[in-house]
Each structure stands twice: as C-alpha cells, then as structure tokens.
Amino acid sequence: MTRIGRIAALTITLEALYALAGCATFTCQTVTVDVANKKELARMETVPGAMRTSETGRLEEDLRRSATVRDYWVQQREGKWYRVSAEQFRAAEIGRALEVCE
C-alpha cells in the first residue's frame, strides 16, 4: 500500500471513530429505579401558526395557538426525579422497579 493509501485509510478510520463517538452522546444510560412516587404535569405552551402567503403576496403567520404539553415524572426512593415517556409513566407502579434513561 502506498503512503497516500495508508493516509487515506487512516483518515477514514478516524472519521468513523469520531462518528461513532458522536452517536454515543445521544444514547442514554439505563438505570433501574424503585418507583416511590409519580406525577404528571401539564402546561400551556404557545406554538407558532403556519406560514402563508397573503393576497398581496406577503408572507404572514397565522394566529398562534395554545397547546397543552404534558410531562411525566417518576421519583426513586432516594428522592431523585426522572422524566419518562407517557408509556413508561403508565407502566410505572409505586413500589416496583422501572428502567429509565438517565
């Protein structure tokens, strides 16, 4: 293999390693917690309306609207709260173990 070929192979290998390392930051550490408490919170959030073109050709935003956003939380016996999905929240039972993403 020529020197340029080795450098190209090394570059490709390093780029692959960087890509894999970047993906690792988006994965979670799974933790098993004993559920001591759970709560559901709801809040109103204003979301932008759709963009449209008016009769005069100007770009305009439709009226903003309010939407309810729900957050689901479980608390471990030691007191730390974990945000969970709606499915995990429904499956969570006080006194039982639950796997959550940390």
The mean pLDDT values, 10 residues at a time, for the chain of 102 residues are 63 61 67 96 86 86 84 96 96 95 86
Contact present, 98 and 92 (Cβ < 8 Å): yes
Contact present, 92 and 35 (Cβ < 8 Å): yes
The encoded tokens of residue 44 equal 């109103």
Q: 90: Cβ–Cβ under 8 A, 6 or more apart, which residues?
A: none
Contact present, 77 and 34 (Cβ < 8 Å): yes
- The residue length of the chain stands at 102
AA letter at 3: R
